[in-house]
Structure 1
Amino acid sequence: MTPVLLGKIDLLGATCSIGLARMYMREVLQKAERRIPGSTVDDIVLLSGEVVANAVKHSASGHRRGGVVGLLVHDDGRTVRVEVVDEGSEETVPQIPAQVDPLSEGGRGLWLVRELSSGWGWRQDGPSRVVWFEISGTSLK
């Protein structure tokens, strides 16, 4: 089945956009034509917020006035794919730390993405960076 774009939004590259991204994602998924279990919605909402937070913290989107972070959500009937597009960074690339401190207030975002998603990755798209994750499986039927 061909993926369908369920939603797309551009957010200000600021910490206040993290909560907005989560609210937007929950609304988009609840309005989806097929039923997605609540626990799966919760995971997608959580991971979307984590990836947007990373974009704000680590890319030019969050470090320049007027920076923007894009959030896109696709569904092909089996897999929900979320893409977060930021303005890139010369200093950092998305990576999972070798050690994750469970008591730390930060540094676990991509670890959570790896642990809860079916797959994730990133690509450079000109000056922009796209970080994506997918959640699929029988729990989505």
Structure 2
Amino acid sequence: MHDRSQAPGSWRIALPHTAAAVPVARALVRTALAELEHTADCDTAELLTAELVANAVEHTAGDDPIELVVELLPTGCQVEVHDPDPAPPGDLTRPTLAEPDVWQEGGRGLLLIRALSSSCGHRPTGSGKAVWFRLPVVPAQRRPT
């Protein structure tokens, strides 16, 4: 299900450009973190991955697959979602001047990513863009036993 030809802590998978990609992406992140006994916060990684994938599916046109890349680093993990649209994602890295409307359904995903990740951003790729976040390693004394 994944290509391990890169570094041992790197996973890459193509996902369909549909809502069905979201649970698959969550499962892949959970599996990647568990298999290597990585100590980043798995629940947060799953939540933010689901937001990135849902955002890519909802806000990019066409049927081209999106791609999920999970990299496990000594300092934490980085998750990237590649999509075919070169336009930058909303308010991911731009400071917001107004408080978000909590009653609005849309727009909260990027706020969640900004609030819960140690860093996040986006970059152009040859076929569109990559949107990413990083989570730090959870110190041993704060991990559930």
TM-score by length of 1: 0.81
Mapped to 2, the partners of 1:88 and 1:103 lie a distance apart of: 28
Mapped to 2, the partners of 1:4 and 1:111 lie a distance apart of: 31
Answer whether contact 1:5 1:72 (CA < 8 A) is retained: no
Answer whether contact 1:84 1:132 (CA < 8 A) is retained: yes
Mapped to 1, the partners of 2:52 and 2:78 lie a distance apart of: 13
Q: CA shift at 1:140, angstroms? A: 4.9
2:90 aligned residue (85, 90, 95):
95
Answer whether contact 2:39 2:76 (CA < 8 A) is retained: no
Q: CA shift at 1:28, angstroms? A: 1.4
1:64 aligned residue (47, 62, 65):
62
Mapped to 2, the partners of 1:17 and 1:72 lie a distance apart of: 13
Q: CA shift at 1:103, angstroms? A: 2.7
Q: CA shift at 1:127, angstroms? A: 2.9
Mapped to 2, the partners of 1:114 and 1:83 lie a distance apart of: 14
Report the aligned-residue RMSD: 2.0
Mapped to 2, the partners of 1:54 and 1:16 lie a distance apart of: 13
Higher helix share: 1
What's 2:28 paired with? 24
Answer whether contact 1:83 1:130 (CA < 8 A) is retained: yes
Any unmatched runs of 5+ in structure 2? Answer: 1-6, 141-145
Cα deviation per residue 1:46-80 (whole Å; 9 max; x = unaligned)?
00000011111112xxx323x21100111122120
Q: Does 1:11 align with 2:27?
A: no
Answer whether contact 1:78 1:140 (CA < 8 A) is retained: no
Name the CA shift for 1:35/1:81 in 2 (closer, same or farther; >3 Å). closer
Q: Does 1:49 align with 2:25?
A: no
Answer whether contact 2:70 2:80 (CA < 8 A) is retained: yes
Answer whether contact 2:38 2:72 (CA < 8 A) is retained: no
In the comparison of the two structures, how many residue pairs are matched? 129
Counterpart secondary structure, 1:133:
strand
Q: Does 1:86 align with 2:90?
A: no
Q: CA shift at 1:133, angstroms? A: 0.5
